[in-house]
Amino acid sequence: MNSYFILEQEQVVADDMAHAIRAHDPTAIVRLFRAAEDVLLALQFTTPKAVLVHRDPSGFHGTALGQALHAGCIPHAFLGTARDDGAKGMEMLASPFSETTVATLLRRLSRSAGKPGR
């Protein structure tokens, strides 16, 4: 069974994203987090298939969470607006998102699984 982590402050956005993930992967376990520290703690017990993070990707790889995801080769992506271009080389989920755009992102992340830096 696949596990996904969502780091999102807004409950409605997190719930919508979880719904879209379950539409793509009906048996998925989706865990919602509001703080990076909580994700880091959960990573000690579970390796998710992907992590979706709502934050500016600039400098993320220098954070404790960014380093943990990189070290564990855990695919991750950022939620942003369709016009965000500050994430060159990073996976982005444009907001507003749909079940289709989430499924497309999850397929891309799945292909990058196990590759450092994703």
Q: What is the average pLDDT across 15-38?
A: 97
With 50 as the cut, is the pLDDT of residue 41 above it?
yes
- Residue 90: predicted pLDDT: 86
d(CA 12, CA 8) in angstroms, rounded, equals 9
* CA–CA dist 56, 113 (Å, integer): 22
Mean pLDDT (the chain) is 90
Per-residue pLDDT averaged across 42-64, rounded? 95
Q: Where are the alpha helices (DSSP H) in 25-98?
A: 36-43, 64-71
The pLDDT score that the predictor gives to residue 118 is: 45
Q: How far apart are CA 59 and CA 71, in angstroms?
A: 16
